[in-house]
């Protein structure tokens, strides 16, 4: 690797965060607040009390799952934009199973919930994955379009068979006590979902970095043609990456239902699946990166709501920061890639399929390598 110090990954991400803060100074000034004070509120304040640190971890929990899910898929060059829908399917499964496992002790009920949610998420990822590996049909659009379908499914259940029979609210029945994730610390909302997310991240890190399956996945992402030439079953690897990604996104749904809502609700996810794309990109598709990025965004989420109370900055600043972070990070990654490919081979200019900076169409990638 050449020495590209100002372009090294940590420097680049830090730079993206700085640019994002410069961009979001505009809306903050518009709200009549001082940007410096606002950033202090966003980033530092949540870390100054135990209560709010625990809230940061609660906010980070769902996006740790979806961030890991998206990162695994993107790493393989499979552009799963459907984590949102896969999360909702996991939530449906958890809400459904949670009402029927009441007679079982927690150590039986909780694994059933987790397995059910993971299976449901993987099932929602199945059709786009099959279409991709069988027919080369671009998964970006198919995974994306299944998100609104999943939301319609949730709403259909809540306005139909699962509507609360007593209150008549569009909320499902409360799940059994043994199916709820226990809280880890008294008088906080921090629940079992957080350590489970850490375990998932650790396993994903180990598999990606240290096992043959992980090597195959990374090879397929870097160069499907090269991987195929080296004897890797590219279709199978992509297919497995897609299903694992869906399963982990499904766990996010289980975690929100069993740990926070205790039932299926329409507002269960304010776009955690899409935030997963921000987390994965900001974490440059590595598991330690995902961990840091999810904690950082959790910090910002808690900070944004405290800033909205203290400084009168609407809490939607959080979404602006997320959007700007995603755009600046992916732009800087693309600029780095352009630089590197110019330096390496002025004639090439081609891009790498598994590169988060570019992301070519699978159809094109496959025909060009065939």
Partner 1 sequence: MSFLIDLLAASLRNATPLVYGTVGETYAERSGVLNLGIEGTMYAGAFAGFATAWATGSPLIGLLAAIIVGVLSGALMALMTVTFGANQHVSGIGLTIGLIGLSEFVNRLIFQGGELQRIEPMPAVSPFGALELGEAGVIFEQYGLTWLAFLLVVPAAWWVLQRSSFGLEIRAVGENPEAADAAGINVARTRYAALMIGGALMAIGGAFITLALLGSFTLDIIAGRGWVCVALVIFGRWRIGRGVIGALLFSLVFSLQFRLRILPEFAALPFELLLALPYLVVIAALALSGRNVAYPGAYLKPYRRS
Piece of the chain touching partner 1 by CB under 8 A; list 61-69, 107-115, 142-150, 226-234 = 142-150
Residue 320 engages partner 1 in binding (rule: CB under 8 A):
yes
Binding of partner 1 at residue 66 (CB under 8 A)?
Answer: no
Nearest alpha-carbon partner for 350 in 235, 237, 227, 223: 223
Joined tokens for residue 337 = 């890639």
340 touches partner 1 by CB under 8 A: no
Q: Which helix (H) or strand (E) holds 182?
A: none
DSSP per-residue letters across 74-114: HHTT-----HHHHHHHHHHHHHHHHHH-TTS-HHHHHHHHH
Q: How far is CA 173 from the centre of its chain?
A: 27
- Rule CB under 8 A: say whether 144 interacts with partner 1: yes
Residues 161-200 that bind partner 1 (CB under 8 A): none
Q: Is 316 near partner 1 (CB under 8 A)?
A: yes
Is residue 352 within the footprint of partner 1 (CB under 8 A)?
A: no
What is the C-alpha separation between 77 and 80, in angstroms, rounded?
Answer: 9
Q: What's the token pair of residue 187?
A: 């008088």
Residue 301 sits in the site that holds partner 1 (CB under 8 A): no
Q: Report the site for partner 1 in 223-282 (rule: CB under 8 A).
A: 271, 274-275, 277-278, 281
Between the CA of residue 149 and those of 4, 191, 242, 329, what are the distances in Å?
44, 29, 18, 30
- Please give the Cα distance from 196 to 202 (Å, whole number): 10
Give the nearest distance from C-beta 308 to partner 1 in angstroms.
Answer: 9
Residue 214 or 271: the one with the smaller Cβ distance to partner 1 is 271
Q: Would you tell me which residues interact with partner 1 (CB under 8 A)?
A: 27, 30-31, 79, 81, 127-128, 131, 134-138, 140-142, 144-149, 151-153, 155-156, 159-160, 271, 274-275, 277-278, 281, 314, 316-324, 326-327, 330-331, 333-335, 337-338, 346-349, 351, 355-361, 363-364
């Amino acid at each position: 690797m050449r020495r590209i110090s100002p372009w090294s990954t940590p420097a680049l991400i830090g730079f993206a965060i700085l640019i994002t803060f410069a961009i979001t100074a505009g809306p903050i000034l518009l709200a009549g607040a001082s940007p410096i004070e606002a950033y202090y509120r966003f980033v530092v304040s949540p870390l100054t009390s135990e209560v709010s640190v625990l809230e940061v971890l609660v906010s980070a929990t769902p996006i740790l799952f979806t961030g890991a899910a998206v990162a695994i898929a993107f790493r393989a060059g499979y552009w799963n934009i459907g984590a949102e829908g896969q999360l909702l399917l996991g939530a449906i499964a958890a809400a459904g199973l949670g009402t029927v496992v009441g007679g079982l002790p927690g150590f039986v009920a909780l694994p059933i919930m987790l397995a059910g949610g993971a299976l449901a998420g993987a099932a929602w990822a199945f059709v786009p994955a099959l279409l991709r590996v069988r027919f080369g049909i671009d998964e970006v659009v198919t995974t994306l379009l299944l998100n609104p379908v999943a939301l319609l499914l949730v709403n259909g259940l809540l306005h139909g068979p699962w509507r609360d029979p007593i209150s008549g609210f569009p909320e499902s029945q409360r799940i059994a006590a043994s199916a709820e994730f226990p809280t880890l610390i008294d008088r906080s909302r921090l629940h079992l979902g957080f350590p489970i997310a850490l375990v998932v991240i650790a396993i994903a890190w180990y598999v990606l970095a240290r096992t043959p399956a992980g090597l195959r996945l990374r090879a397929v992402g870097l160069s499907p043609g090269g991987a195929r030439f080296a004897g890797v079953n590219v279709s199978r690897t992509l297919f497995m990456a897609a299903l694992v990604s869906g399963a982990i996104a499904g766990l996010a749904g289980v975690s929100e239902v069993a740990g926070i809502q205790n039932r299926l609700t329409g507002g269960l996810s304010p776009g955690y699946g899409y935030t997963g794309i921000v987390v994965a990109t900001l974490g440059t598709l590595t598991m330690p990166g995902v961990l840091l990025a999810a904690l950082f965004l959790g910090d910002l989420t808690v900070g944004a709501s405290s800033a909205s109370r203290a400084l009168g900055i609407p809490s939607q600043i959080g979404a602006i920061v997320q959007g700007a972070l995603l755009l600046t990070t992916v732009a800087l990654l693309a600029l780095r890639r352009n630089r590197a490919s110019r330096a390496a081979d002025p004639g090439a200019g081609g891009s790498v399929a598994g590169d988060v900076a570019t992301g070519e169409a699978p159809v094109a990638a496959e025909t060009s390598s065939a």
